[in-house]
Structure 1
């Protein structure tokens, strides 16, 4: 393909990734803040039960944000959804800056969750729809490593500043990404869906910088055919759940989502400080936070490079198996501490083993499934159900995350850290088996080629319906050469 450089795609991706940095900061805010609240370093007196609510209440907000993005993105577009996600984040930050009340902390976390749900749902769809297939994986995963950069920033700064100073520092982030994303274009796929062919042509030229106009028209024609074919079908939840052509994608994405959550990534992120205290590891919390955030960010950068080189499927398999073994290593330490009842003095020289196991699990999961979990749905579902599929998966994930985070403390009390980490490790190994048998490779394939791979004969049936509908339009003399009517 004789294209010019892809500078525009990289610049647009960077603007969208600023939103991911902000959501990474708001999600990991609990990591340095929960120990401060637990040690009464603020003017508020917070109980353990209230701490668990502060950690968990973001998940219902995440579900609400995902649900809102489903309707906003289909009605007003991908760009409008990204811009709108800044509003709840700004409101939540203003609340936590101006007021010191546990109920307002709940509301702040809920509002941040709304913004996070909107960004996570729409950013991968947006990036998948603007990217060349050769760099789609790298650009889509880049939003995830910028999310990890946000994690790192709050973990590196949070332990060294007061609760109130940290909150003031957060206020600039959503304003910054709102301004940057004001200048990004709508995706060509959404423009075609709305019948705006000229707008899609202009956006494609800006993003691809074609040197041959014929290639531009050829790609635009293929996109129009795909959009027309995909929008022949309904975009409802019923269509998603009952259409046989979506079943394989649903099974793959639901399986990856379940195993990703039950490996405990989100629990470890929220409760890292308290886990460190409970495990008697001789390491300062600020040091642990900085290491945790740094390796997660660096691994995220590497995952964006590997996604289009190694491939999605090998990364999933090896990251799940490696994460399971790493968490098993941490579980072995907790077995000695809680089951064999070795003394703290005897275990002190080996306490680093648990932390190494946790860090290895962070590296491997970020290289693989924790980064790809948001890319795969954007690749595997067609345009008509993409938004509802992403929303449904995120709501399912939000419910599950809320339950896991809220019940972690009870699980830790009943089973101990050994029991909790054994469950996490077992699920990681199960995720590797699932990926080996069920997940196809999508590296280097266009969105059309991926749909043909997944849907098989169902994709051909859609083509027949498209041809039939087109013939009927032609017979009635209503065919349109340059504009698609909104479906």
Structure 2
């Protein structure tokens, strides 16, 4: 009789476990679905960043419907960066006042208008205005989307969800590289507008972040939102943790800029994020993306055309982004950052040594495959760690109270770092030779690995409250 009871209890326990797994699975599917919906915006972001690459040759050609000089065309990218910087104070207010979800929706509407404006523009100035507003929309999206996903995701798949979005951004860049030279000028704008309109429609039915709802004291709505993102599983314990985290955040002095510097763990969070933000441009991200053909032409390789190498480079980065998204929650943030930064440094120093020897007069014809291999290996090892992980950490390391301000500062520092790294590359290359900036950026990549080893905590599988506890040293 006792054995029958035990068997019955075991059977009931197994049924409960299966039901729990089913509920968790249902919640996971809905969260991943949400990340793909946000990813529609990311695809158009990638298209926006890569748009000038195929369009500048068209707009400066005799076939262009809107004739531009090369100098005028180059200003299109600058105006978008100006828009990004201009939007910083707007974004920090929007995500806390109207919410993460509504900020994303608002950015989508702005971006749809920009793509339509680019399509119908009849003057250069109109394109400049559209690119400026596109920078505003991209900044709002770049801050609000990771914040939203970081707050709705279960701790075990938070890295995956952020990774999906930035993988889709790479899809958008590759898409514009392929379609831009092949289709009429207006087609990419139509594709982007359709994707954004689809997101607006689908996103309208998704709930707001539970963290934001708690911040504005809508407790019942916050609980319902969390329940939707977790399926039918029991959310009481997780909800209590979120409430406890929010109450702890409210004890901080303020949500202003002063609070980031007054509170020790906030300062630590900011330092970590700023170093990671600068690690990307100073590990040659923009330099490789914008100057790949020039770098390979300088190598004078006979093993592969620069056009073919560029396409393969983009494909490898996309594959690497997918791999990173799938393993970031298994191997952890620190492992990927350390491995990636060391490997990136090896690729960069290989390029530096090659160009140094070539400048010194050595005959390297038989070794001209080295820069191509180095660049293609760089595409994989950079993107799997430094190129993906910082945005995951940025979305989870700030307290709710300063997250909007912290992520906005992060975005601004990244833009400034990108401009600085590009200008440094051009200045050092023209003054001392192309090998010198690669030596410098090698050092930057290796410093990132040391910083990660000693100062960045592992956030894999931890709740927001646990992450803050670690930063506080408790």
8 Å CA contact 1:259, 1:427 repeated in 2: yes
The 2-side partners of 1:329 and 1:237 are apart by 42
Give 1:341 deviation, angstroms.
Answer: 4.4
Which residue is 1:418 aligned to?
435
> CA separation in 2, counterparts of 1:357 and 1:106?
36
SS in 2 for 1:184: coil
Distance 2:460 2:118 in 1: 43
The structure 2 residue matched to 1:237, chosen from 257, 260, 280, is 257
- 2:391: which partner in 1? 374
Q: Give, in angstroms, the shift of residue 164 of structure 1.
A: 5.0
Partner in structure 1 of residue 40 of structure 2: 18
The range that moved more, 150-159 or 20-29, is: 150-159
Q: Which residue of 2 aligns with 1:153?
A: 175
State whether residues 65 and 114 of structure 1, in contact with CA within 8 Å, keep that contact through their aligned partners in structure 2: yes
- Taking the aligned partners of 2:285 and 2:222, their CA distance within structure 1 comes to 39
1:321 aligns with 2:342: yes
Asked if 1:269 corresponds to 2:286, the answer is no
Give the CA deviation at 1:197: 1.2
Partner residue, 1:75 = 97
Deviations for 1:395-436, whole angstroms, at most 9, x for unmatched residues?
122222233345654444334332232222221122112211
Higher mean Cα deviation, 219-228 or 299-308? 219-228
8 Å CA contact 1:148–1:296 kept in 2: the answer is yes
Asked if 1 retains the 8 angstrom alpha-carbon contact of 2:44 and 2:196, the reply is yes
Q: Does the 8 Å contact 1:72/1:81 carry over to 2?
A: yes
Q: CA deviation at 1:40?
A: 6.7
Of residues 107-116 and 262-271 in structure 1, the stretch that sits farther from structure 2 once superposed is: 107-116
- Which residue does the alignment assign to 1:307? 328
CA distance change for structure 1 residues 231 and 404 in 2, over 3 Å: closer, same or farther?
same
Q: How far did 1:198 drift?
A: 1.2
Matched, 1:248 2:268: yes
C-alpha deviations, 1:306-354, integer Å up to 9, x for none?
11111101111110111111122223333344x13467xx63x544432
Residue 130 of structure 1 deviates from its aligned partner by 0.7
* Cα distance between partner residues in 1 of 2:290 and 2:440: 18
Q: Residues 265 and 468 of structure 2 are in contact (CA less than 8 Å); yes or no, is this contact kept in structure 1?
A: no
Matched residues in 2 for 1:168 and 1:410: separation?
A: 39
Give the corresponding residue for 1:8: 30
CA distance in 2, matches of 1:89, 1:127: 20
Q: How does 1:203-242 map to 2 (within 5 A)?
A: 203-211=225-233, 215-233=234-252, 234-242=254-262
Farther off after superposition, 380-389 or 61-70: 61-70
**Which residue of structure 2 aligns with residue 455 of structure 1?**
472
Distance 2:316 2:449 in 1: 22
Distance 1:416 1:36, change over 3 A: farther
Q: Which range moves more in the overlay, 411-420 or 390-399? A: 411-420
**Secondary structure of 2:434's match?**
helix
Tell me if the contact between 1:55 and 1:406 (Cα under 8 Å) persists in the aligned partners: no
Report the TM-score when normalising by structure 1: 0.85
Question: Alignment partner for residue 446 of structure 2, among 416, 426, 429?
Answer: 429
Ranges in structure 1 where 5+ consecutive residues have no aligned partner: 458-487
1:262 Cα offset (Å): 1.0
C-alpha distance in 1 between matches for 2:139 and 2:115: 16
1:88 is the counterpart of 2:110: yes
User: Mapping of 1:333-412 within 5 angstroms?
Assistant: 333-337=354-358, 339-341=359-361, 347=365, 350-405=367-422, 408-412=425-429
Which secondary structure does the structure 1 equivalent of 2:235 belong to?
helix
What's the RMSD between the two structures over aligned residues?
Answer: 2.5
Does the C-alpha gap of structure 1 residues 274 and 96 become closer, same or farther in structure 2, counting only changes over 3 Å?
farther
Counterpart selection for 1:287 from 308, 316, 331: 308
Distance in structure 2 (CA, Å) of the matches to 1:131 and 1:70: 22
The yes-or-no answer on 1:117 pairing with 2:139 is yes
Post-superposition offset of 1:372: 1.2
Name the structure 1 match of 2:7: none
Give the TM-score taking structure 2 as reference length: 0.87
Q: 2:67 aligned with 1:44, yes or no?
A: yes
**Equivalent residue of 1:374, what SS?**
helix
CA distance in 1, matches of 2:299, 2:53: 16
CA pair 238-159 structure 1, distance change in 2 beyond 3 A: same
| Corresponding position of 1:468 | none
Q: 1:154 to 1:248 in 2, by over 3 A?
A: same
Matched, 1:129 2:160: no
1:273/1:56 Cα in 2 relative to 1: closer, same or farther (>3 Å)? farther
1:187: Cα distance to partner? 0.9
Q: Give a deviation string over 1:147-171, Cα, whole Å, max 9, x none.
A: 1111221222224345555445443
For CA contacts below 8 A with separation 6 or more, give which structure has more relative contact order: 1
Q: Tell me, which stretches of 5 or more residues in structure 2 are unaligned? A: 1-16
Contact kept? 1:44, 1:100, Cα under 8 Å: no
Q: Secondary structure at the match of 1:384?
A: coil
